Structure 1
Amino acid sequence: MSAEEPERLAWFKSSYSGNEGGECLETATTHAAVYIRDSKDPARGQLAFRPLEWAAFVQYATKG
């Protein structure tokens, strides 16, 4: 899967993230992928997941 150019994506932080600069991820979505990056170091790179892969991860993570 090819990565989108990070500056062209609309990045979002979780509403649970505070403004104190702690550990936080940002996400951006397109029809083909969900992108994840470190909000403290966005130039470092990003991960891309197919929507079904991301949905499976979220389902697993929310089971506790």
Structure 2
Amino acid sequence: MAPISPVGWRKSSYSGSNGGQCVEVAIAAGMVRIRDSKYSGPPERRPIITVPIHRWVDVLEFVLRGGAGQVGMGLSIELCAEGGTTLKSHDGTELAFTAAEWDAFAKGIVNDEFSAS
């Protein structure tokens, strides 16, 4: 699969099975940005977590292992009892995903849909 476009947001091709709600990812200026498609508030307040591009492969590997905890210095992944996942950044930004959304994201990773190279 081709790398993520430097403009725009990408979601997993598996997201359609959960109503299109998903983890969205964009790469620009050496950073990977993550957001939640369910957000419905004002655009200027939309929560986005930013990860340095050199740490992105660590995040993807962590997700594939089903891990929970710290990924590098600025991101933590918490697994919820109902199967969902919450991402938290060092600045307090949180993104909560359902089990179906996180599963679609993981399947997209396996399918090489989120490569930064």
The runs of 5 or more residues in structure 2 that have no matched partner are 1-6, 67-117
Aligned-partner Cα distance in 2 for 1:38–1:60: 19
What do residues 1-56 of structure 1 show as CA deviations (whole Å, max 9, x unaligned)? xxxxxxxx50111111016144x111110141000001011632211000122211
Give the TM-score, by structure 1 length: 0.67
Identity of aligned residues (%): 38
Aligned-partner Cα distance in 2 for 1:31–1:60: 23
* Larger-Rg structure: 2
Equivalent in 38, 41, 47 of residue 39 of structure 2: 41
The runs of at least 4 consecutive aligned structure 1 residues that moved more than 6 Å come to none
The runs of 5 or more residues in structure 1 that have no matched partner are 1-8
Higher strand proportion, which one?
A: 2
Equivalent in 8, 12, 15 of residue 13 of structure 2: 15
8 Å Cα contact 1:36/1:47 also seen in 2: yes
What's the offset of the Cα at 1:60?
2.2
Give the TM-score, by structure 2 length: 0.40
Q: Which residue of 1 aligns with 2:65?
A: 63
Aligned-partner Cα distance in 1 for 2:47–2:11: 16
